[in-house]
Amino acid sequence: MDADRLSIAIRSLTELVARLRGPGGCPWDAKQTDATIKVYLLEEAYEVLDALDGSSPGEVCSELGDLLFQILFLARLASERDEFDFVDVVERITEKMTRRHPHVFGTATVDSAEDVAANWAKIKRSEKGAPEDTSSMLRRVPSNLPALLRAHRLSERAAKVGFDWADAEEVWTKVEEEVEELRTAVREGDQEEIAAEMGDLLFSIVNLARHRGANAETLLRNTNQKFLARFEKMEKGLADAGIGLETATLDEMNRAWEEVKGLQE
């Protein structure tokens, strides 16, 4: 990486944001606040994820730029309030990452990725000063995370203090138990209980995925994409046969779906 080019690029983007916010700049940008930018920050983060799921490096590069712009914009808003600026943001994260990687930048030794994670947690606790109770750690999992990812993080943090199933087989037993409880609730027709049991089942499946070394959020994102791709091919197959979705019967759609599924397996 060219250090001079990096310096010029960051400075230019920082100055661009300042110009947009300053006198004679953009009226729309001048009206933005932390609250309004939060929405765009979240959207851009998801667009980065979509780009990463694709196969175009150029698209990933572009979306990372859009996300960086939102970060610089928020830093600019803070600097206008004399709170901090983008330099503070960069310096603080550099200091933090250096401190939390003593096996790279210090004298600590580790034998595995698990050792790194354990050491990271220990350093993070020491940064907080007074010991933090586990409930506080759980409450700090962002409430705005997608629900499946938040369930993963909550159970992951609880597991660090031993509140967890012994292995995936135990979680599988819990999943089966939740399925039966949902079945009972459906049979009894209690809508509130049905909803509660569906939530319990989803939470159990998140933990089953975690114990299998996977993340349910990622798994469902992948399945969503697979469903969309198959649906598009099913629709095209029907159209090639002269059948529109609006006139296709369920049997015709199911047959076309199975054909697409068979070709992909």
Average pLDDT for 239-263: 92
Angstrom distance (rounded) from CA 176 to CA 200: 11
pLDDT in tens, 17-66: 999 999 999 999 999 999 999 989 989 998 998 899 887 899 999 999 99
pLDDT in the model for residue 121: 78
pLDDT in the model for residue 169: 96
Contact at 8 Å (CB) between 210 and 156?
Answer: yes
pLDDT in tens, 109-165: 989 988 888 888 788 878 876 566 778 788 888 888 899 999 999 999 899 888 999
pLDDT in the model for residue 265: 63
Phi-psi region of 189 (alpha: psi -120 to 50; beta: other; left: phi over 0): left
Which SS3 state, helix, strand or coil, does residue 237 take? Answer: helix
pLDDT in the model for residue 98: 96
3-99 belongs to which homologous superfamily?
MazG-like (1.10.287.1080)
pLDDT at 264 over 80: no
Contact at 8 Å (CB) between 238 and 256?
Answer: yes
pLDDT in the model for residue 177: 96
pLDDT range class, residue 223, cuts 50, 70, 90:
very high
Tokens 């076309």 locate to: 256
**DSSP character for 100?**
T
Classify residue 20 by burial, with Cβ atoms within 10 Å: 0-12, 13-18, 19+.
Answer: middle
**Which of these ranges, 86-95, 98-107, 138-147, 174-183, has the smallest mean pLDDT?**
138-147
Angstrom distance (rounded) from CA 249 to CA 258: 14
pLDDT in the model for residue 125: 76
Q: Which of 138, 104, 137 is nearest to 119 (CA)?
A: 104
Domain ranges of the chain: 3-99, 218-264
